[in-house]
């Protein structure tokens, strides 16, 4: 890796199933960004515990997510990939930044309000200060760019506010990051409610495709996908279900929407849904094969995440030393 490339940081929580929608909308972008940017990819397990987790499940999901990201094409020769909890500088910087963050700023965060409403029996301090830890994640690595969706825009804004406040008080220390809107990232919709996005938290398992679903499950879910009462396979307003299936098919096969429409002209919805399912099965097979290889080689996985954490910590320590010196802490020597 070279410092000449802009540095980009992105994180993903090991909080559940990774869907085809997650892959097309986010993970595939991670792979494509590797040639253009210096990429730091973090499995945000510290953030995950703001909602109660079963420890054994969290460990299992974390390891599986690491294996899945590698199977999807995250290249350790091009990117740093690591567990957030393996780099203690995240929490160390977070405490300092807490002291440069106003209560009023945090109380206005819409995501805190949403999560507090969903977890009324566990409105913990970590949930409240979540944006500060996220700011530490970004600022620790002097990231130039952060991929953001609509739900993360506020978090990036408060990160910039905290960084600017610290820089103004104690001289320039942090790079002020900018949001990065990925060039590719089609929105994949629920197979059962195509007006909503495909979500791993959907109570209806037929609504999403997991990257680890077996072929029979994938085919069955596509066969049950919601369409409409018409019989034309065309991409247009009002045909949300067909539009979603055409989008999935086009992304997976590399064909345009127009080419996909032409391919299925005059064919029925049953044939079309089966073809989409078969294309997805073929696409997922090499990913699943690589995933199984990684999961059967835990020692190699451990080498990957240990090396990643060491490299990330090396970069993080440089920032933390500057911060500690500027706030007045005595160096360890």
Q: Give me the active site residues, please.
A: 115, 197, 200
**Token pair listed for 154:** 């506020």
- Our measurement of the distance from residue 297's CA atom to the centroid of its chain's CA atoms, rounded to an integer in Å, reads 24
- What's the alpha-carbon Rg for the chain, to the nearest Å? 22
Token pair for 150: 């609509």
φ, ψ (nearest 5 deg) of residue 314: -60, -45
Structure tokens at 156: 């990036």
Residue 158: phi and psi, rounded to 5, are: -70, -30
Any bridge partners for residue 42, and if so which? Answer: 11, 82
Residue 75 sits at φ, ψ, to 5 deg, of -105, 120
Task: Give the distance, in angstroms, between the CA of residue 152 and the centroid of all CA atoms in the same chain.
Answer: 11
**Which tokens in the block code for residue 99?**
């002291």
Helix/strand/coil for 39: strand
Query: For residue 67, what are its two tokens?
Result: 């294996």
* Eight-state DSSP code of residue 206: G
List the beta strands (DSSP E) in 204-298: none
**Cα–Cα nearest to 11, from 71, 77, 90:** 90
Q: Which residues partner with 41 through β-bridges? A: 10, 81
Strand partners, 146: 179
Could you tell me the sign of the dihedral formed by the alpha carbons of 225, 230, 234, 238, in that order?
negative
Pairwise CA distance, residues 26 & 31, whole Å: 9
Please state, in angstroms and rounded to a whole number, the distance separating the CA atoms of residues 52 and 256: 43
Q: How far apart are CA 8 and CA 29, in angstroms?
A: 12
């Amino acid at each position: 890796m070279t410092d000449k490339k802009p540095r980009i940081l992105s994180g993903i929580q090991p909080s559940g199933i990774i869907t085809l929608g997650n892959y097309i909308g986010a993970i595939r972008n991670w792979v494509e960004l590797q040639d253009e940017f210096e990429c730091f990819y973090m499995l945000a397990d510290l953030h995950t515990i703001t909602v109660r987790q079963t420890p054994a499940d969290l460990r299992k999901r974390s390891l599986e997510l690491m294996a899945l990201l590698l199977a999807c094409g995250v290249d350790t020769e091009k990117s740093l990939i690591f567990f957030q909890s393996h780099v203690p500088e995240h929490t160390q910087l977070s405490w300092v930044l807490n002291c440069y963050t106003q209560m009023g700023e945090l109380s206005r965060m819409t995501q805190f309000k949403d999560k507090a409403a969903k977890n009324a029996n566990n409105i913990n301090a970590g949930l409240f200060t979540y944006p500060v830890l996220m700011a530490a994640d970004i600022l620790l690595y002097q990231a130039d760019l952060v991929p953001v969706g609509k739900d993360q825009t506020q978090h990036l804004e408060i990160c910039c506010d905290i960084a600017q406040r610290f820089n103004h008080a104690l001289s320039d220390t942090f790079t002020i990051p900018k949001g990065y809107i990925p060039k590719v990232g089609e929105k994949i919709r629920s197979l059962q409610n195509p007006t909503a996005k495909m979500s791993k938290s959907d109570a209806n398992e037929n609504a999403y495709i997991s990257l680890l679903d077996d072929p029979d499950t994938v085919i069955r879910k596509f066969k049950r996908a919601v369409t409409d009462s018409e019989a034309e396979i065309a991409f247009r307003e009002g045909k949300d279900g067909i539009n979603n299936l055409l989008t999935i098919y086009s992304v997976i096969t590399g064909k345009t929407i127009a080419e996909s429409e032409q391919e299925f002209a005059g064919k029925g919805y049953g044939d079309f849904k089966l073809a989409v399912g078969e294309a997805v099965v073929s696409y997922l097979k090499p990913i699943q094969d690589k995933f199984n290889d990684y999961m059967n080689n835990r020692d190699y996985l451990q080498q990957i995440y240990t090396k990643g954490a060491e490299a990330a910590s090396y970069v993080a320590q440089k920032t933390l030393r500057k911060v500690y010196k500027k706030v007045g802490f005595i160096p360890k020597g």
